[in-house]
Amino acid sequence: MTPTLTSPPLPATSPAEKLMLAGVAGGLLALLLAWADADPGRRNTWFWLAIGLVSAGTLAWSWLKFGRHPAGVQQNNLWLRSSTGRGAVGWITGLVLTGFYVVLYWFSNGDNQGNFGLLSNLIHPLDSFSQWLRAKPADQWFLYGTFYTLAVLVMGGRALWKYRHSRYQVIRTLSVMFFQLGFSFLIPGLLQFFQKPEFYFNYFWPLHYQYLWPNDVHDLLKNGQALGVFMVFWGAVMSFVATPVLTYFYGKRWYCSWVCGCGGLAETAGDPYRQLSDKSRTAWRWEVRIVYTVLGLIIAITALLWVHFATGGALLGEVGNAAAKWYGFAIGSVFSGVIGVGFYPIMGSRVWCRFGCPMAAYLGLLQKHFSRFRISTNGAQCISCGNCSNVCEMGIDVQQYAQRGAPIIRASCVGCGMCSTACPRGVLNLENGPREGRYQASQLIHADSLRILS
Ligand code: SF4
Ligand code: SF4
C-alpha cells in the first residue's frame, strides 16, 4: 500500500488572536452595512465603526502574533495557509480587491450632484474630514487615498512588530509610512485647501507621467504662480538629476523601498504575500520584456505629446493624445491598479513594480550599469535554506547567488533588504561599495547558468 503524504496540522490560533481576527471580520461586515445603508446617520456610524475595528483589530492581532514572541523572521506555514498560499481565502481577497479597483476606476465617477455611483455610501462619510483637510467634499479619489494611507499605516504597524529586530527594516518601514502620510496624503490635501495645484512631491516622471506632459506643465506654469514653477522645476530635477545621482550612490532602493507610495503599500499591506512572486526564469524573461517596453512607450508618448504641443498638432495630428489616453487606461489604471494591487494575494506584492513600472525600469538600468549598490554574499556560510529566495518580492532567486558567493546586482532588486533580514547565517549584506569588481563573480553566474538579460 502506498503511504499518503499529508500536511502537518497548522499551529492553533490563540483565543486572544481569534478575538482580534473576529474584530477585523466585524469591521469588514460594518463596512458592508455602511455601503448598503440608505440612512446617512446610520451609514456614517457603520463606516467609522468599520475603520476603528479593522485598524485596532489588525494592530492588536499583529502585537499578539509578532510582538509577544521572540523577534526574528518566521516563515513557518506560509504556503500552507489559505490566505498566504494562494488558497481560497487568498483568491477571495484578490477578487474583492480587484472588484474594488474596477468600481473605483469605472463605476464611481461623480455627477457634480454628490452621486458617486456604487461608492457613494462609502465616500460621503468622509465629507467632513475632506472638508477639514481640503476645503471641499470627498470624492472617490479621497476615499481611495484614505484607504490607501490607512493600509500603509496599519500594516506598517504590523511590519514594525514583525521586523523589530532589524534596524534597517524599522527605519525603512517608518520612512514609507512617513512619505505616504505626509507627501501622498496630507500635503496634496493642504495644497487643495489653499487652492493650489494638487501635487505629489514623491512621484516623478515616468511613474507619474503627466508631470512632464505639456498640458500639466502648461497648467502648472499658468495657474500655479511661483509654486507652480517650482513644481515643474522639482519634477524635472527629481527625474533627471536627483534620480541618477541618488541611484548611483544607493541603488534604486532610495526610491522603491523608502519613498514611493506603490513600494510603500507593497512593503506593508503586501508583506504577507511577498513569497508569492514567481522565481522562474520564464517570469524573469517576461519581466525584462514587459517592463522595458512600458518604459519605451512612456518615453515615446511623452515625445509625441511635446511634438504635438510644439507644432500645434500640425505634424502628427492626434496620435500623441490617442496614445496618451490608451496608456492612461491600459497602464495607468488596469496594470498599476487593478492588476498591480488586486493580484497581491495571487502573484505577490510587487507585480506592478516588477513587470510594469517605468520608474522601476529606469532606476533598474541605472542600478545595473551606473551604481555602487550591490548585495554581497558570503557563500561559505550559506546553508541553502532558501529563506532569502522565499522572501524576495521581486522574484530573484537569491539563494543561487549566495551559494556561489556572487554579488547580486540585478536591475530589479529594490533593496528592501528582506533577504538579508531573513538569512539565519548573515550571508547577505546590502552595500554601497566601489564599482571595481562589482560584476566579476556575478558574470560567472550570468554566463554559467542564468543567460538572461536583466
Ligand atoms: S534581492 Fe533582497 S533586497 Fe533585493 S528585492 Fe529581493 S529580497 Fe529585496
Ligand atoms: S543566503 Fe542565507 S537565507 Fe539564503 S539560502 Fe543561504 S543561508 Fe539561507
Q: DSSP per residue over 19-66, as a string?
A: HHHHHHHHHHHHHHHHHH---HHHHHHHHHHHHHHHHHHHHHHHIIII
**Mutation probe of ligand 2 site: the residue of 404, 423, 428, 429 with most atoms within 8 A of C-beta:** 423
Q: Which ligand is nearest to the CA of 354?
A: 1
Structural domain total, the chain: 1
Tell me the CATH number at 381.
3.30.70.20
pLDDT on residue 114: 80
pLDDT on residue 444: 53
Q: Closest Cα to atom 8, ligand 2: which residue?
A: 385
Nearest to 79 by CA among 143, 26, 10: 10
* Amino acid occupying residue 206: P
pLDDT on residue 438: 66
Domain-embedded: residue 164: no
> Are 210 and 329 spatial neighbours (Cβ–Cβ below 8 Å)?
no
Cβ 360 under 6 angstroms from ligand 1: no
Cβ 384 under 6 angstroms from ligand 2: yes
Which phi and psi angles does 431 have, rounded to 5°? -135, 150
Domain-embedded: residue 90: no
Domain-embedded: residue 409: yes
Rounded Cα distance, 439 and 222, in Å: 48
Q: What is the CB neighbour count within 10 angstroms for residue 244?
A: 14
Of the CA atoms within 13 Å of residue 72, those in its CB half-sphere come to: 10
pLDDT on residue 336: 85
The low-confidence residues of the chain, meaning pLDDT below 50, are: 1-2, 447-454
Domain-embedded: residue 183: no
Cβ 349 under 6 angstroms from ligand 2: no
Q: What is the CB neighbour count within 10 angstroms for residue 452?
A: 12
- CA dist list (Å): 258 to 22, 177, 288: 33, 9, 23
Nearest to 127 by CA among 236, 12, 14, 43: 43
**Mutation probe of ligand 1 site: the residue of 258, 414, 428, 432 with most atoms within 8 A of C-beta:** 414
Residues 6+ apart with CB under 8 A from 422: 73, 75, 387, 388, 390, 391
In the chain, the largest separation of any two C-alpha atoms, in whole Å, equals: 82
> Are 305 and 321 spatial neighbours (Cβ–Cβ below 8 Å)?
yes
Rounded Cα distance, 186 and 194, in Å: 12
Cβ 7 under 6 angstroms from ligand 2: no
Q: Which ligand is nearest to the CA of 402?
A: 2
Cell numbers placing 153: 499605516
Cβ 251 under 6 angstroms from ligand 1: no
Q: Which ligand is nearest to the CA of 418?
A: 1
Q: Closest Cα to atom 2, ligand 1: which residue?
A: 419
pLDDT (tens digit per residue) in 193-236: 999 999 999 999 999 998 999 989 999 998 768 999 999 999 99
Domain-embedded: residue 16: no
**Mutation probe of ligand 2 site: the residue of 388, 389, 408 with most atoms within 8 A of C-beta:** 388
Which phi and psi angles does 284 have, rounded to 5°? -60, -45
Q: What is the CB neighbour count within 10 angstroms for residue 182?
A: 14
Cβ 402 under 6 angstroms from ligand 2: yes
Cell numbers placing 283: 517570469
pLDDT on residue 130: 97
Q: Which ligand is nearest to the CA of 375?
A: 1
Q: Closest Cα to atom 3, ligand 2: which residue?
A: 423
Cβ 419 under 6 angstroms from ligand 1: yes
Name the DSSP letter for residue 313: T
pLDDT on residue 258: 97
Domain-embedded: residue 167: no
> Are 248 and 366 spatial neighbours (Cβ–Cβ below 8 Å)?
yes
Q: Closest Cα to atom 7, ligand 1: which residue?
A: 392
Instruction: Tell me how long the chain is.
Output: 454
Q: Closest Cα to atom 4, ligand 1: which residue?
A: 413
> Are 413 and 251 spatial neighbours (Cβ–Cβ below 8 Å)?
yes
Rounded Cα distance, 200 and 227, in Å: 13
pLDDT on residue 72: 82
CA of 383 to the centre of ligand 2 (A): 6
Beta bridge partners of 376: 429
Supply the DSSP string of 156-218, one letter for each residue: HHHHHHHTTT-HHHHHHHHHHHHIIIIIIIIHHHHHHHTT-----TT--TTTSGGGGSHHHHH
> Are 382 and 399 spatial neighbours (Cβ–Cβ below 8 Å)?
yes
CA of 250 to the centre of ligand 2 (A): 23
Domain-embedded: residue 166: no
CA of 198 to the centre of ligand 2 (A): 45
Q: Is the peptide bond before 434 cis (omega within 30 degrees of 0)?
A: no
Domain-embedded: residue 92: no
Nearest to 410 by CA among 270, 252, 290, 291: 252
- E strand or H helix at 373: strand 373-377
Q: Which ligand is nearest to the CA of 257?
A: 1
CA of 401 to the centre of ligand 1 (A): 12
pLDDT on residue 147: 97
User: Closest ligand 2 atom to the C-alpha of 385?
Assistant: 8
Cβ 263 under 6 angstroms from ligand 1: no
Q: Closest Cα to atom 2, ligand 2: which residue?
A: 423
Q: What is the CB neighbour count within 10 angstroms for residue 369?
A: 10
Domain that holds residue 408: 370-450
Residues 6+ apart with CB under 8 A from 368: 409, 410, 411, 454
pLDDT on residue 310: 87
